[in-house]
Amino acid sequence: MRLKNLSICLFAFVLFFTGCQSAQRQTTNKETIVYPGFRLNTEKNVSVVSDLSGRIKSIQKNESGQYDVSVQTSRQSYLNDRIETDVYEMVYGNLSTIESGLTLEQEVQRGTQIGIGTPDSYVTSRSKTLLPFMVRLSERQPVKQNDFWYFSPDWMFPHKTDFLSFRPVKSFEEALKDFYHRWEVEKEEKKGFTIHHHPDLDRIRFALKLNQYPKTLTETTSLTFTEKQFYGKENLFVFENKLDEFKISGYTPVIYWQSGFDKHLKEEYVLKNTLYVYASIYTIDHDKKLILICARDFALVPDEKVIGDRMNSFQKLQ
């Protein structure tokens, strides 16, 4: 399934290499090794900064006399009903000079200047093993070089879906009951709408079978408020699937989709087959008796299978 280009991400952030030339999807160092990554859109004497917090893992001078600097960091991902912590490196290559005083094992923050770029500067990522999140989120085939696997760090762009940041739930119905119960125990008055935000509970991947494709939504005040509160933009969601079969205490769950998803689903998904939805549950609308579910993306097969199949394919490259 192809990735959908969404117009906004809940956890949107500004990347320091968003100026990368996205059309340049591979980078070549002076040793003619082709790495999957992005050429930095830098001119001579332009500063290059770290895109993340971590520590300096390596500083090397390559055969062209330029510098390659790697920043080691870690991230957490949901996989196989557990949270995994993976350690990897971001590599900034072909820097003309490195920042004065930059040393190995030095702690750096996102935005820390690490060197001066050149027109040939690039960024890639690497790890010594095939990390599941890299395998799932990178759009290009990795390259094995010496002791490392090199991946294109596509997950750093906010318009890309970070599939493994969604907690998989075994039962969509149980997840809804859990969400509803959190409001119920607070014994609030059933008036207006209630918004909850707890990423560990509400940002989920669930499986279900749709009986119909999304329809143009019926606007509600609660959806408009939710969009403003979490996305900073109105009219982001334009289609809906009402799930009457999952009603809880008279409340109907509704999946809201962004523009284009009706077309994507009709092209890729066959009704009444299993669909994996990546979404956030935020709001209970007491007036309309709705539970609002804001979809980020979907897949036709689970992440675990996608990762397993790709890993098997990549292992054959060795």
Residues 63-75 have a mean pLDDT of 95
Neighbours of 211 (CB within 10 A): 11
Residue 168 has a pLDDT of 94
Q: Read off the pLDDT of residues 41-61 as tens digits, 9 standing for 90 and up.
A: 767 778 999 999 999 999 999
How many angstroms separate the CA atoms of 145 and 151, rounded?
Answer: 11
Q: State pLDDT tens for residues 226-235.
A: 999 889 999 9
CATH domain 26-161 topology: Glucose Permease (Domain IIA) (2.70.70)
Element spanning 35, H or E: strand 34-36
CA–CA distances in Å: residue 108 to residues 38, 52, 114, 162, 196: 21, 8, 9, 24, 34
Instruction: Please compute the mean of the pLDDT values over residues 207-232 and round it to a whole number.
Output: 93
In sequence order, which ranges of the chain are alpha helices (DSSP H)?
132-137, 172-184, 199-202, 221-231, 261-268, 303-315
Is a pLDDT exceeding 60 seen at residue 15?
no
Please compute the mean of the pLDDT values over residues 193-218 and round it to a whole number.
84
- pLDDT of amino acid 186: 60
Q: Considering the chain, what is the average pLDDT of its residues?
A: 86
d(CA 284, CA 275): 24
Domain boundaries, the chain: 26-161, 166-299
Instruction: Report the C-alpha gap between 68 and 279 in whole angstroms.
Output: 38
Tokens representing 221? 């005040």
**6 vs 236, which has greater pLDDT?**
236
221's CB contacts (< 8 A; 6+ apart) are 193, 287
Q: Do 39 and 21 contact (CB within 8 A), yes or no?
A: yes
Mean per-residue pLDDT, 204-229: 94
pLDDT at residue 235, as a whole number: 94
User: pLDDT grade, residue 219 (50/70/90)?
Assistant: confident
Confidence label for 30 from pLDDT (cuts 50, 70 and 90): very low
Q: Which residue has the higher pLDDT, 162 or 22?
A: 162
Tell me if 303 sits within 8 A of 164, measured CB to CB: yes
pLDDT at 22: 36
Q: Which two tokens stand for residue 66?
A: 């330029």
- pLDDT tens-digit readout, 142-158: 999 989 999 999 999 98
pLDDT bracket for residue 220 (50, 70, 90): confident
